[in-house]
Every structure is written in structure tokens, then in C-alpha cells.
Amino acid sequence: MIAVSGVQLNFRVPDPGRQLAGVRLRQDIAMPPDLVEFRRSGDWWELVIPRPPVSRLEYLLELRHDNGSSEWVTDPENPMRVAGAFGMKSVLEFPGYQPPSWLSAPAEPGTSRTFDLPAPPLGAEISVRTWSPAGAPDDEPLPLLVVHDGPEYDSLASIVRYLSAGVTGNWLPRLRAALLSPGPRDAWYSANAGYARALRRSVILPLVSRLATTARIGMGTSLGALAMLHAHCRYPDAFDALFLQSGSFFCPSLDSHERRFPYYRRIVRFVAAAHSGSLRVRTVPVVLTCGQIEENVANNRLMTQVLRAEGYQANLHEVPDLHNYTAWRDAFDPHLTRLLGEVSR
């Protein structure tokens, strides 16, 4: 049972048989541990917390047992669920939140193809799914949106539906998309020089040889956003614009809590180089989005300042949500919409 007021949230978990040793709220807001610990009240576990400054909240419950074991579960008292990169979560949508209107707008399905591209620098293949508007021949020059974590962006954030609805409704230009499967994303997307080389030589070159292309827009989220910026720095001709969501632009002063990530030092070296001038390659439009209270917001603000100082037309849009695919989906329009319109003129 959940009660939502203007200033607080009241959670209740039933435990009439007193089978639980404790309950804790798991969410992505940096709340003190004692603030998310439920307290027993008769046949219930209860928690009252201040309402966070977001438009929606994804969460799980940690149920602890007397034998010392614990499990993470969705909230049995809340029927609303949302899929994410790490599975299903419960979700609260606060008054005033509205999902994007394009989710229910008319959308022609378009044409999709799936194929694997050999990537010798990685000793692997990169799976690609292309999408084109219905009836678009391969020799029709169109902008190409290249998307890291493409299958996840489609299944969890409906990127193909967004493109289809936009082209059908004429509020997006006719364009194509290439959705790239991530492979071992932690290794590939973490400022990996081999991956940047494979992206330029083994993915983009074959794509533009198959499909007539005007502008190329690189898109990614979290590590995928970092990898797009890293590829741009190493191969300035790869992209004509970048759309970067919640980029993992780690630096020690802001992100020391990430130091156990296996590729933390490699990311830090690249970000430090960017801060010291390696972005002076080819200035392209860059649009960034980030949750206004998520962990990456500080390093996204700093990277935006660095980009602007180097002459980029860079804008950061902070959204009232956290680090999840629904937040990234909800930022497509108007922010990606405007960027696609600008680069297609």
C-alpha cells in the first residue's frame, strides 16, 4: 500500500505472519541508509520518506529473512511495473507526469534489416539492425542515426517507434537509424581505442557504402554516450552531431565511488584528456540530457562546460528523473527532435 502526498511517500508491506526480519527500499536516489529502512508496525512494515524531486520513481524492495538471506522484489502493493536494463521494477508516477504523446501516435512501421559486421580490431562481430522509412530506397540520401545499445533503446525506450511516429507525423525529417548491439559493453564502451576504430572502420564505412547518407548523428546513453564522444575525438569525421544521455564522464573529483569499475582508469584518462584540450578536433552540435539528481549529473555539467569552452554548440537538458530508459525515452522529444531537425537542414 502506497500513499503519495505533496510532500511525502508512505510505503507499507504486509507481513501478518511475521516472516520478515526487515525491509529496505532500493532506489537510485542517494538517500542515507537509515532513511530507506522500513519499521515494523503490527502486521506491516512501514516507511515514510520525503517525496523526491522527480516526476516518477523506479524502485525495488529488499526483503530480509531470519536466516540472513535477502531478496530483491517488486512491490506487491503496487501493480505498476516498468522494464529496465536490470529487469523489472515497481514505479510510481507522480501527479503531473505524462508519458510522451508519440507513444500512441500513428506510426508507419518502416523497413528493418539485421546483419553482423566483422570487427577485426575487436576480434568479434557487431550486430546491426537498420531502420528506414517505408519505401525509402537505399540510394536516397538521408541522415543516419547511429545508436549504441540499440536493441535496449528499442525494447526499453521505443526508439524505433519514436522515429516512425516522427516521420509519419512529419515532425521529424526522413532519416534512417542503425541500432548497434553492445556486445561486452563494459569493455567496448569504456573509452576503448579498439572499439572506436571498429566503429569507424567496421561499422560506419560499411553502412555508408550500403546506404546513401547525409549527416551522421551518434547517440548513446551512460557508457554508450562516453563511447560516442570518445569515437568522435579519435575520428572527427565519424559524426556530424552527438546526442548523449547521462554520459559516464568519470573524473576522480566527482566519481571516486566508481573506482572499482574495471575500466575506471581508462575512462578517467580520456575524460582528463578531454578536459585538457583533446576535444579540439571538429566542433559539432552536441545535445546532452541527464537526470537532474542522478549520480552522473555533475560530470555531465562539467563536460558541457568543457565542450562549450572548446567551441562546441553544446546544451545540457536536465530532466526530472534518474538513470533509466524511461527518463532517456521521455527526453527524445523535444531534445533529439530539435537536433535531428537542425542537422537535416
Q: What would the pLDDT profile of 43-77 be if each residue is shown by its tens digit?
A: 999 999 999 999 999 999 999 999 989 999 999 88
**Equal CATH topology for 2-93 and 101-343:** no
HEC per residue, 212-266: CEEEEEEEEECHHHHHHHHHHHHCCCCCCEEEEECCCCCCHHHHHHHCCCCCHHH
What was the pLDDT predicted at 104?
97
At residue 263 the predicted structure's pLDDT band, cuts being 50, 70 and 90, is very high
Question: Helix or strand or coil: residue 292?
Answer: coil
Global confidence as pTM: 0.96
What was the pLDDT predicted at 188?
98
- Three cell numbers at 179? 541500432
Partners of 45 in the β-ladder: 13, 40
Distance between CA atoms of residues 102 and 98, nearest Å: 11
Give pLDDT tens digits for 184-241.
999 999 999 999 999 999 999 999 999 999 999 999 999 999 999 999 999 999 999 9
Distance between CA atoms of residues 9 and 71, nearest Å: 23
At residue 1 the predicted structure's pLDDT band, cuts being 50, 70 and 90, is low
pLDDT of 313 over the 70 cut? yes
At residue 82 the predicted structure's pLDDT band, cuts being 50, 70 and 90, is very high
pLDDT of 327 over the 70 cut? yes
Compute the average pLDDT of residues 111-126: 96
pLDDT of 281 over the 90 cut? no
At residue 175 the predicted structure's pLDDT band, cuts being 50, 70 and 90, is very high
pLDDT of 5 over the 90 cut? no
pLDDT of 245 over the 80 cut? yes
At residue 33 the predicted structure's pLDDT band, cuts being 50, 70 and 90, is confident
Compute the average pLDDT of residues 277-283: 87
Distance between CA atoms of residues 80 and 179, nearest Å: 29
The average confidence (pLDDT) of the chain is: 95
Indicate the fold that domain 101-343 takes in CATH: Rossmann fold (3.40.50)
Q: Where are the domains positioned within the chain?
A: 2-93, 101-343
In the chain, DSSP assigns E strands to 2-4, 8-14, 20-26, 39-41, 44-50, 56-65, 70-73, 81-84, 87-93, 111-119, 124-132, 142-147, 176-180, 213-221, 241-245, 286-291, 314-319
CATH of span 2-93: 2.60.40.10
pLDDT of 79 over the 90 cut? yes
What was the pLDDT predicted at 101?
97
